[in-house]
Amino acid sequence: MNVNVIKISRSVVFLVLLFIGGWCFLMRVCGAEYGSEFTMKIQVVDDAGKPVQNASVRTGLKDEGTGRMKRKWTDAEGVALVAFRRVDSAKTNAYKEGYYSSGVTFIPWLSPDFDPSEPLVVKIKRKKNPIAMYAKNMSFGVTPGIKIPGGVGEKIGFDLQVGDWVKPYGEGVISDFIFEKEGGFREVLGNDFSQKITITFSNEKDGLIPFEGPLPIHEAPKLRSDYEAPEEGYLSKWVQTTSRKSGEGFKTTRKHERNFYFRVRTKVDERGGFVSASYGKIYGDFMSFVYYLNPTPNDRNIEFDPNENLFRITGNDVTLP
């Protein structure tokens, strides 16, 4: 028999076995109910875990096309019943006046442990006391190519209330954040590079507290932070490293889901006791993020009203609270 025919026959057999194996996997995961209809419980709760009645639950199914949504309303237990098929992938969002919308994306047939009798919980946070803040989108870019002015090893301040680098690199006056970059491209090694960014502060007790939250692609709640910045626990320095080396690939300590609380402009008395400070938050990691600064000293409220941006930005307003 021709050798090429034998090779083709083996390839066909391999593909057939692969197809059968994949089908068996789906049947094992989903069983005979694969593609069948079922009713899903969507439970909407608030930030305290209490059921939210009369919330609008909107669900879009992948196979029904963009813009086609199923809408249900929650009962006294915060539950809405929505019909699905196990082959569907779905995005579910919950809305109610006086709350921040939120949602989840899920694929019920991917998990062998999926149980439609268990409610899928969607948390929507209450609107409590949104305030005017200085809010600005600072998309400096991601390493390599960080747009921090000055030379390597130079400490450059950024004024959060002015929204600019301190002089001579901008119109800022107070160094709320101090950035220092080290490293960069090394042409001898081609595209290999190693870079470090260090963020420090001007005052004792200034600092950052990192916290993680879901990304927008995962239907993160609009209010990702707590309502107030923490009172204590701030780190006086934050270091971020990024590198790429032959044989090792790209490495970074940066996390897309990382956010921060911050405290700046802290004043202490002669004994080092706390007197006053300004608080805020950051959505995103350095060096591409959105920051929010509360203009009132000692007020830890960081629930932003997007209609009250003190920068009066036009055309590209910050829309997340």
pLDDT of residue 167: 93
140 with 189, same domain: the answer is yes
Report which of residues 270 and 85 the model is more confident about. 270
Q: Does the residue 97 lie in any domain?
A: yes
Report which of residues 66 and 43 the model is more confident about. 43
Whether the predicted pLDDT of 320 surpasses 80: yes
CA distance 292 to 64: 39
- Residue 110 host element (H or E): none
- Residues 233-290 have pLDDT tens digits of 999 999 999 888 877 788 888 888 899 999 999 999 999 899 999 999 999 999 889 9
Where residue 176 falls (left for φ over 0; alpha for ψ -120 to 50; beta otherwise) is alpha
Which of 24-33, 177-186, 245-254, 282-291 holds the top average pLDDT? 282-291
Q: In what order do the strands lie in the sheet with 79-85?
A: 79-85, 37-45, 120-123
Identify the bridge partners of residue 283 per DSSP, sorted by sequence position. Answer: 259, 290
pLDDT of residue 113: 63
42 with 68, same domain: the answer is yes
- Residue 18 host element (H or E): helix 3-30
DSSP-derived secondary structure letter, 32: G
28 with 44, same domain: the answer is no
Helices (H) and strands (E) in the chain, counts: 1, 19
> How many CA atoms lie within 13 Å of 275's alpha carbon, on the beta-carbon side?
10
Total length of the chain:
321
Q: Mean pLDDT check: name the lowest of 27-36, 41-50, 262-271, 282-291.
A: 27-36
Q: Is 274 helix (H, G, I), strand (E, B) or coil?
A: strand
Work out the percent of the chain whose per-residue pLDDT is above 90: 47
284 with 248, same domain: the answer is yes
CA distance 157 to 199: 10
21 with 68, same domain: the answer is no
241 with 265, same domain: the answer is yes
177 with 300, same domain: the answer is yes
Whether the predicted pLDDT of 19 surpasses 50: yes
What residue numbers bound the domain in which 12 lies? Answer: 3-32
pLDDT of residue 213: 79
Q: Does the residue 314 lie in any domain?
A: no
Identify the bridge partners of residue 106 per DSSP, sorted by sequence position. Answer: 90
* CATH classification of the domain holding 88: 2.60.130.10
Residue 14 and residue 21 in contact, taking contact as beta carbons nearer than 8 Å: no
187 with 299, same domain: the answer is yes
190 with 264, same domain: the answer is yes
Whether the predicted pLDDT of 12 surpasses 80: no
- Residues 104-134 have pLDDT tens digits of 877 665 555 667 678 888 999 999 999 999 9
Q: Does the residue 320 lie in any domain?
A: no
23 with 54, same domain: the answer is no
Q: Does the residue 91 lie in any domain?
A: yes
* C-alpha R_g of the chain: 26
291 Cβ contact list (under 8 Å, min separation 6): 134, 135, 136, 138, 160, 262, 280, 281, 282, 283
How many domains are there within the chain?
3
Distances (CA, A) of 138 to 95, 148, 158: 29, 11, 11
187 with 284, same domain: the answer is yes
Q: Does the residue 315 lie in any domain?
A: no
pLDDT of residue 184: 63
Query: Residue 312: which pLDDT band, with cuts at 50, 70 and 90?
Result: confident
| The pair of three-digit structure tokens given for residue 171, joined into one six-digit string | 């119109």
Kindly state the average pLDDT of the residues 4-11.
51
Q: Is 113 helix (H, G, I), strand (E, B) or coil?
A: coil
Query: Residue 7: which pLDDT band, with cuts at 50, 70 and 90?
Result: very low
Average of per-residue pLDDT values in the chain:
81
Q: Does the residue 188 lie in any domain?
A: yes
